[in-house]
Structure 1
Amino acid sequence: GSKIHASCKKTYWDKIAKKVPVGVWRNIENFSVTNPGATYRPTNHQYKLNFIYGTDITPSTLQNDSMFLSLVDFQTIQQGVEDENIFIESLAQFMQLTKIGDGTILDAKLATKRFRVHVRVKDCTGEAYLMLLDWIAVEVIPENAAALLNGSFDEV
């Protein structure tokens, strides 16, 4: 994977630093994702993680560095960039699409309405369960979930 800039307040440093050794897979819950800013950018990643008071870091059961999902924008695929790490294939069949989840993400300054879509698909190897988050999927699909489904959740 790629390196990403992460930060936390000095008061949380002792609690968090020992839980995130370099090169070790971890599950991280309750954190914020922001733009890294222009003045100090230790990586060229487009986002920055901010560990907050409620951040929980636990060991990950996933330990295989060759198995990860990295989202690629649609223009890269259209340009035909050959990369063995980019999977370009049609999924055989949509099995089930649940209603778009409606949730509110609270921030200190504002509350933002966000959407998620749970998709169950089946291909030649079996079934897979996917969850598309509108603020991540926009990098792959240039429309948000509500606009993509045109307000109707029974079409797909």
Structure 2
Amino acid sequence: MPATFGYLKDVRPYKIGWRVQVKVLHAWKQYTSDTGETLELVFSDELGKKIHCTVKKDLVSRYVNSLTVGDWVLIETFGLSYAGGQFRPTNHLYKMTFVNTTTVFGSEPKSESNYLSLAKFEKIHSGELNPHILVDVMGQIVMVSELENLEANNKPTCKLDFEMRDET
């Protein structure tokens, strides 16, 4: 029997048998010395609620090809834990984690929305927004610095500074 269908606003960690229909908004691979390489994703349901998801290194190869940015998928059986950290990609109280029994199925699109939640520049400047949650912004780039080669965590990396202004 299929798991209970739920919206992201309703999922809670008291069970793993949830079934959600979501759009893959963002996907990136991340490497840390603690966890190795993980697949990180941001999903949104048709109501526009977003959630961060982690696929641990031993499961990445199983799911990476079925989680294409822009596609809608049905996801069954996953773990949830409290979201935390300095740079959270969503404001959802929980973070989704794929487990060995997670299944992903292609789904018909529910919406063509990009599900951006654009933050107002005034709220950013005033400090009204939570500084630990990343926000979407749109504006005009008015200054771009030279690309700097730096070292971060004993690895070479590049830094680019730019200045944006509100488009209004």
Structure showing the higher strand proportion among its residues:
2
